[in-house]
Chain A
């Protein structure tokens, strides 16, 4: 009997067994779960990185503003109460300190004040010495700490610390001194 070649070669098609399919699905689900978890984790880390960058930037603005405006030197009490979280623009800072200067282009919102909403701050200033004969009598340690809550509602923070003049040295010929 003549049997066409294609009919002869055609083997009866068999599907995968249920075990095979389940095994394959399990493997794929496990793999996809790993990828998804990684993506989810990565997204969170990316967000954390952005927030840290932003918080660090705000801490820098606070520190530079306090130094440039001479707030440490103006007998202004810049210390926030210990463990208190104040709004970033609370006195002695102001909302204007977080507003960009220059001409604002339409649609170009460079006012970063709105970006400070999620942050709080604590500023402290500690004299290095109260002995007028010490060289570091005019200096203080300035600490700016910026806080925020992450998505798990855990408090996180960044800190900048430096040493800066805050009061005049004792009067002495040839140098800065006297009472301002």
Chain B
């Protein structure tokens, strides 16, 4: 029988079909096998990336800690080799390289084989600083590696924090001082103290906690009042508190802080700088030619003669007036009293002796009858009124016999007199074309020592003109045999009577100053001059005027540095007195800020406008036509114009900064005189308008150069406030100030080791001593070119990316 050939084929086909089916199923399984774990892989990878983020972030954190550590080391001993970007050739940075080498070898983590690699690149425009007054900038890259394979990378730009970023900072908040909350918005910007605050909320509580917030930004304090209740916020509240035993009371914090309770926070202490010594190198780069003579000098290259720095003032300055000339150029006038010399002469001496026989006259003895005590004196008084009698007027005295004496000659004595000459240095920064007539030159004293007029070729755009003048008195005693005194090689002849002012030196230099004014002495007198007493024959006025930046020039060519639109660029001015010399700056009037937009608008309308003039109808200087308006009102509220850029803002750095505000004082003292003579530029509005960011204070150091510590806290000195002997006079009122910028100060109490009553009270415990201050934060002004920086760094740019290859 023949076999059916299909039989075998059919069986094989079934098996084949089964195998095909199995293959399909296996294929399906393989697909599922591959597809389903993707989520697991994704989850693992996501977790790895996140851990990589934390590892890379750790590298950034460690770098920031190291940078801070190096800056603190530098601040202590001012050794530039401690700076993180210390370099000798501009290309290699031994400190950075050593740190990178050490940190990249570390394995600081316990889980897995994670580590990070750091790369720190100093930015070219901040490289090689040898001072602590310019913010350093570093680009830092941190790569997280797992088993040496890169996983995640973070790149940041770090910038050193600056003290200029505060609207108000006080290192110490003296316990005899209070911050008076007025129920109005007064401080517009970040506020910090290393202490805790003492808020006086009487006015806010009286208004039912329904007032405008006094602070419009974050307020931070480093310490807590040990006596503050646990349910409070750690600060001292007088006159009412925004909390009760249950915690914050709804709406109360909002009456003081715009952001409510969340705007009052505790944070780390931030200590003030201790020295300004290193900033001199940016003001006068050539140490060998740095002047030691009395006077004001402009730094110039010893070889080229071009301006290569700023202004150094040796000796005290009674007045510094930042003016605008008639063409809109900054014209700085610095007046200094100078001891030319001393002379001795012999004169008759006298003494008082009794008559023979003695003579007597009736005179008042002790008080016999007292009148009523003055209102509010605390009571007491009347006849025999005990202790309180000292406050009551005496109506009748006991009559006693007093001896009358006579004056008789008593040989001779030697008297020593000092010649107090005045040196005036005037600096013209010529950025706008000038065309002075001879009459105008005569008025300004723009003449050479030989009496000829300064040629307009010495006043061309791009030059800096320095004119030095000396004023001598006829009754001076130290003229030479020919009746002359010699200043800067020029003889000044004794006048027949009165005084004479003579130009003794003129310099016309190529280039512009860099904006630094470094004063080895006070600007404005001490409190002793407040009452009108003269210092070396010159009334002390202090700083006032309108600040205009100094145009940037190329140090090699002297050409202006222009922006993309072809406009000149400017360095803002910074006035510095050495912190460790205990000097001060006194403000004698308004301190306005130049506004280039207004200047250009005025010039466009009147090319011959005289910015140096005075508007007699308003008593306002014409400078105000080119200044930011501090009196601007917006929606019925004071809202001064703010800086459009930092170019014309002003920085003040001194141990103490004293304010001589307009007051109602009736005795005609220096304070009120200043403001009656046109130094209140905006026309006598009763307020000192101050465009600046001021740092007044320092960290005290011990003998080893370390921060001086008392009870675990650093000790600070210096501050910002009203004239110290003036502040206690209740009749003077308090002085009203409007600061557009910021105030950074050491203490609201007294300076370290100062036995005088030298406090910087905001408002004292009586609530009546201090000053009335409005503070308007000016964000552009915080970008000060030269201003003390903190040792801490902040991240200003953050980029994160995968680093997987």
Residues on A lying within 8 angstroms of B by beta carbon are 14, 16-17, 20, 23-24, 27-28, 30-32, 34-35, 37-39, 41-43, 45-46, 48-50, 52-53, 56, 60, 63, 128, 134-136, 138-139, 141, 143, 145, 158-165, 168-180
B55 close to A (CB within 8 Å)? yes
6 tightest Cβ-Cβ pairs between the two chains A and B? A175-B791, A42-B36, A31-B25, A178-B269, A163-B58, A135-B69
Instruction: Mark each residue of chain B from 1 to 38: 1 if its CB lies under 8 Å from any CB of chain A, else 0.
Output: 00000010011001101110110111011001101110
Closest-CB distance, B655 to chain A (whole angstroms): 14
- Enumerate chain B residues within 8 angstroms of A53, measured Cβ to Cβ: 43, 46-47
Task: Find A163's partner among B50, B62, B792 (CB 8 Å cutoff).
Answer: B62
| CB-based contact A139/B40 at 8 Å | no
CA gap between A158 and B47 in the complex, in Å: 8
Q: Offer 11 A-B interface pairs, CB within 8 angstroms, sorted by A.
A: A28-B25, A35-B29, A52-B40, A135-B69, A141-B110, A161-B54, A161-B58, A162-B55, A168-B269, A172-B75, A174-B132
- Enumerate chain A residues within 8 angstroms of B57, measured Cβ to Cβ: 162-163
Instruction: Mark each residue of chain B from 100 to 137: 1 if its CB lies under 8 Å from any CB of chain A, else 0.
Output: 00000000111110100000000000000000100000
- Enumerate chain B residues within 8 angstroms of A20, measured Cβ to Cβ: 11, 14-15
| CB-based contact A161/B109 at 8 Å | yes
CA gap between A178 and B21 in the complex, in Å: 78
CA gap between A177 and B269 in the complex, in Å: 5
- Enumerate chain B residues within 8 angstroms of A24, measured Cβ to Cβ: 14-15, 17-18
Task: Find A174's partner among B33, B71, B114, B709 (CB 8 Å cutoff).
Answer: B71
Residues on B lying within 8 angstroms of A by beta carbon are 7, 10-11, 14-15, 17-19, 21-22, 24-26, 28-29, 32-33, 35-37, 39-44, 46-47, 50-51, 54-55, 57-59, 61-62, 65-66, 68-72, 75-76, 108-112, 114, 132, 194, 222-223, 266-275, 698-699, 701, 707, 709, 712-714, 788-792
Closest-CB distance, A48 to chain B (whole angstroms): 6
- Enumerate chain B residues within 8 angstroms of A136, measured Cβ to Cβ: 62, 65-66
| CB-based contact A164/B25 at 8 Å | no
| CB-based contact A169/B51 at 8 Å | no
| CB-based contact B11/A17 at 8 Å | yes
From known contacts A56-B43, A180-B222, A180-B266, infer whether A169 and B714 are also in contact, taking CB-CB under 8 Å: no
| CB-based contact B132/A56 at 8 Å | no
Instruction: Using A45-B36, A171-B271, A175-B75 as known contacts, list a sample of 13 further A-B pairs with CB atoms less than 8 Å apart, ordered by residue number in A.
Output: A31-B26, A38-B33, A45-B40, A49-B41, A52-B43, A52-B47, A56-B43, A139-B62, A159-B51, A169-B68, A177-B271, A178-B222, A179-B223
- Enumerate chain B residues within 8 angstroms of A16, measured Cβ to Cβ: 10-11, 14
| CB-based contact B713/A178 at 8 Å | yes
- Enumerate chain B residues within 8 angstroms of A180, measured Cβ to Cβ: 222-223, 266-269
- Enumerate chain A residues within 8 angstroms of B701, measured Cβ to Cβ: 173
Residue in chain A with minimal CB distance to B15: A23
Closest-CB distance, A161 to chain B (whole angstroms): 5
CA gap between A16 and B788 in the complex, in Å: 98
| CB-based contact B111/A50 at 8 Å | no
CA gap between A88 and B450 in the complex, in Å: 88
- Enumerate chain B residues within 8 angstroms of A170, measured Cβ to Cβ: 72
| CB-based contact A139/B65 at 8 Å | yes
| CB-based contact A42/B33 at 8 Å | yes
| CB-based contact A177/B714 at 8 Å | yes
- Enumerate chain A residues within 8 angstroms of B272, measured Cβ to Cβ: 173-174
From known contacts A45-B39, A50-B39, A160-B50, infer whether A175 and B68 are also in contact, taking CB-CB under 8 Å: yes
CA gap between A45 and B39 in the complex, in Å: 8
Residue in chain A with minimal CB distance to B72: A172
| CB-based contact B273/A46 at 8 Å | no
| CB-based contact B111/A28 at 8 Å | no
CA gap between A41 and B714 in the complex, in Å: 65
| CB-based contact A27/B22 at 8 Å | yes
CA gap between A93 and B794 in the complex, in Å: 28
Task: Find A32's partner among B25, B41, B42, B709 (CB 8 Å cutoff).
Answer: B25
CA gap between A49 and B712 in the complex, in Å: 52
A23, A45, A134, A174: residue with the most chain B Cβ atoms closer than 10 Å: A174
CA gap between A3 and B268 in the complex, in Å: 111
CA gap between A24 and B13 in the complex, in Å: 11
| CB-based contact A34/B25 at 8 Å | yes
Closest-CB distance, A122 to chain B (whole angstroms): 12
Task: Find B21's partner among A31, A52, A161 (CB 8 Å cutoff).
Answer: A31
Closest-CB distance, B339 to chain A (whole angstroms): 35
From known contacts A139-B61, A174-B790, A176-B269, infer whether A162 and B14 are also in contact, taking CB-CB under 8 Å: no
CA gap between A143 and B269 in the complex, in Å: 27
CA gap between A41 and B789 in the complex, in Å: 61
| CB-based contact B268/A176 at 8 Å | yes
- Enumerate chain A residues within 8 angstroms of B61, measured Cβ to Cβ: 139, 162-165
Residue in chain A with minimal CB distance to B269: A178
CA gap between A63 and B59 in the complex, in Å: 16
| CB-based contact A49/B39 at 8 Å | yes
From known contacts A174-B788, A177-B714, infer whether A43 and B36 are also in contact, taking CB-CB under 8 Å: yes
CA gap between A152 and B70 in the complex, in Å: 53
| CB-based contact B42/A49 at 8 Å | yes
